[in-house]
């Protein structure tokens, strides 16, 4: 699967739902606050390196290069 840059918040929400990942779970996995996760779900992610981190933590798989 390919991921767009920037990654819109709606796509983050769909990805979390598809992989059954809650905000609390993702907060524990990434070591960030639930407030930050809610912000990303609202605004999306804009940097390719950060998109890769988010996708990897949500899915559990490395998505490879994000362009």
The predicted-structure confidence for 27-43, as pLDDT tens digits, reads as follows 999 999 999 999 999 99
- C-alpha 8 chain-centroid distance: 10
Domain spans of the chain? 9-59
Tell me the pLDDT band of 66, cut-offs 50, 70 and 90: confident
pLDDT at 50 over 80: yes
Percent of the chain with pLDDT over 70: 99
Find all residues with CB under 8 Å of 63, minimum gap 6, and list them. Answer: 1, 3, 52, 55, 56
Question: What is the Cα–Cα distance from 23 to 37, expressed in whole angstroms?
Answer: 7
Residue 12 has pLDDT above 90, yes or no: yes
- The answer to whether residues 21 and 53 touch, using CB atoms and an 8 Å cutoff, is no
User: How confident is the model at residue 52, as a pLDDT?
Assistant: 93
């Amino acid at each position: 699967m390919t991921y767009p840059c920037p990654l819109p918040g709606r796509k983050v929400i769909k990805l979390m739902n598809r992989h059954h990942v809650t905000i609390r779970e993702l907060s524990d996995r990434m070591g960030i606050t639930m407030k930050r996760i809610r912000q990303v779900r609202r605004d999306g992610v804009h940097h390719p390196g950060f998109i890769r981190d988010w996708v990897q933590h949500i899915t559990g798989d490395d998505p490879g290069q994000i362009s």
